[in-house]
Amino acid sequence: MSKKKYDYDLFVIGTGPGGEGAAMQCAKHGMSVAVAETYREIGGGCTHWGTIPSKALRYAITSTMTALKNPALREMGITTTPSLEQLKRGTQAIIGRQVTMRQSFYDRNNVPIYRGHARFVDEHSVSIDGDEPITAETLVIATGSRPYRPAGVDFDHARIFDSDTILDLDQKPISMCIYGAGVIGVEYASMFRNLGIKVNLINTRSKLLEFLDDEIIDAISYHLRDQGVIIRHNEMMESITGEDDGVVLQLKSGKRVKTDILLWANGRSGNTDDLGLQNLEVVANNRGQIQVDEHFQTVVPNIYAVGDVIGVPSLASAAYTQGRAAGMHILGQADGNLRLHDIPTGIYTSPEISSVGKTERELTEACVPYEVGQAQFKSLARAQITGQTVGMLKILFHRETLEILGVHCFGANASEIVHIGQAIMVQPGAQNTLTYFVETTFNYPTMAEAYRVAALNGINRLF
C-alpha cells in the first residue's frame, strides 16, 4: 500500500469564522482536514475580542440602562449605577458556550486542532512553533486581523486603548475620545454614551459611514449628537500623549482634546507578519492583507485566504461564507460563490443599522429610475408597545418593474428585519417585486409589518 503524499488534504490556519467555514465544508465532504490555532481557545478574534464580547457588552448596557429608565422602577425608588465589571460579568459565560459549541464541531468531524503558531515552510507544509512540518495538499489562511497600531502611539499607557483592549476596561471613565469613526468607532461611541460617558468621536472623513445610504447616515449622525456625542469631521491626528490624569489628542487642525481615556479605532491589520510568507510567492500589502481571486485563491493556486486577512468587508458573517466558498472550490464545486455579492451590513449602534443592495446615491449615479417606500417605526403598533419608536425602514425599487433594489433599516432589531427584504431581493426575475409585500399578510403587531407599510407608501408615489 503506497504512502499518502501529504499528511492532510486540507490544513487551515486559524479557527475563526473563515477557518471554521472552510474546515467544516471540506471535512463534511470526506476530506482529511486539520487546523492550527495560536490562541489557547478556538474561535478567533470574533469569539474572544471582537464580535461576541462587544455585542454581549452592548446588549448588557442597552438592556440595563433601558430597564433603569423605566418609569415603574423610578416610581418604586429603584436607582442604581451599574459598574463596568457588573455589565461585563456575563460575557465570559457567553464566550465559553461559543467555544464549547465550536469545539464540538471539530470533534464530531474528526478535525484535529494543532495548538501553536503556524508558519509556512513551503507551499505544501507548515511548522507549528518550529516542530516537524505538517504537509497538506491545500492550505487556507484564516488568521484574521488585529487593530492597526501606528508608530508614535503608546498603547502600553494605562489610558490608551484599541478595540481589543477596550474590553478590559474596568473603571467607567467620565470622558473618552474615540479616534476613528468607522463601524467599530461608531458602535463604541453609541455604547459608551449609553453609559453616560462623555464621548468625543473624531472622524478622519467628511461624514460618518460613507458606504451607507445618505438618509441613514443623517439619521445616525443626528441620534448620536442627540444623545450627546461630540462628532468632529475631517480631522487628523498630530500626536497622542498619555498623561497621569488623561490623554491629550493634538489634531492637525490645531484643536486639542483631553479626555480620561482614548480609544484608537482607526483601521485594522491582517495577521500575516509572522506567517512565513517569505517562503512563498504570496505577498501581503502594507496593512498585512492578502490579495485573492473570486474563488479566494492566492497567487499560489493551492493556498487560499479568507476572512479579515483579505480585507473588506471584514465581517464575521462574510468570513464564514468566504470559508465555505473556498471549501467548495477546493472540493471542485467552482460555482460555490454562495451569494457573496449579497452581504448585508449590520452595525450595532443604538439603534441598529442594517442594509442590503444599492443606495439612493448609487442608483442616481447609475441613472436607474427608482422610487422609495418608507415606514417610520413610530407608526408601528409593535414599536409603540416596546417603546422603541426611533427608526425607519426604506425600500428602494424600480419604478417600472417594481424590482427591489435596496433595503435600508435604522432602528431596533434592524439587523434582523433586513433579512426579510434580502430574501425577496434574491428571488429570480419577476418574483423579486414590491408586490410581494403589498399582497402578503404580516403578523400584527410586529416590526416586520414595516415592509407592508413601506411597500404601500412606495406604491402611492407612482403615477
Per the annotation, binding residues for FAD are 55, 143-145, 308
Are 309 and 324 within 8 A, CB to CB? no
**What's the angle, vertex CA 446, arms to CA 443 and CA 448, rounded to 5?**
85
User: How many angstroms from the chain centroid is the CA of residue 54?
Assistant: 10
Are 10 and 138 within 8 A, CB to CB? yes
User: How many angstroms from the chain centroid is the CA of residue 333?
Assistant: 28
In the chain, the amino acid numbered 276 is: G
Binding-site annotation: residue ranges: 55, 143-145, 180-187, 267, 308
Cα separation of 164 and 388, whole Å?
Answer: 30
Are 307 and 16 within 8 A, CB to CB? yes
And the C-alpha cell for 19? 477557518
Cα separation of 16 and 9, whole Å?
Answer: 20
Cα separation of 83 and 25, whole Å?
Answer: 42
> What is the spatial order of strands in the sheet that 230-232 belongs to?
160-162, 261-264, 175-179, 198-202, 230-232
Cα separation of 28 and 292, whole Å?
Answer: 24
Contacts of residue 101, defined as CB under 8 A and 6 or more positions apart, other chains included, come to none
And the C-alpha cell for 438? 403589498
Q: List helix spans (H) across 40-88.
A: 44-48, 51-68, 71-75, 84-88
Binding-site annotation: residue ranges for NAD(+): 180-187, 267
Are 235 and 429 within 8 A, CB to CB? no
- Give the CA diameter of the chain: 80
- Three-state DSSP class for 432? coil
How many helices (H) and strands (E) the chain has is answered by: 14, 22
- Mark 167-199 as b/e (b = at least 16 C-beta within 10 Å): bebeebbebbbbbbbbbbbbbbbbbbbbbebbb
Backbone angles phi, psi at 119, to 5 degrees: -135, 140
Of 420, 405, 341, 417, nearest to 373 (Cα)? 405
DSSP H or E run through 347: strand 345-347
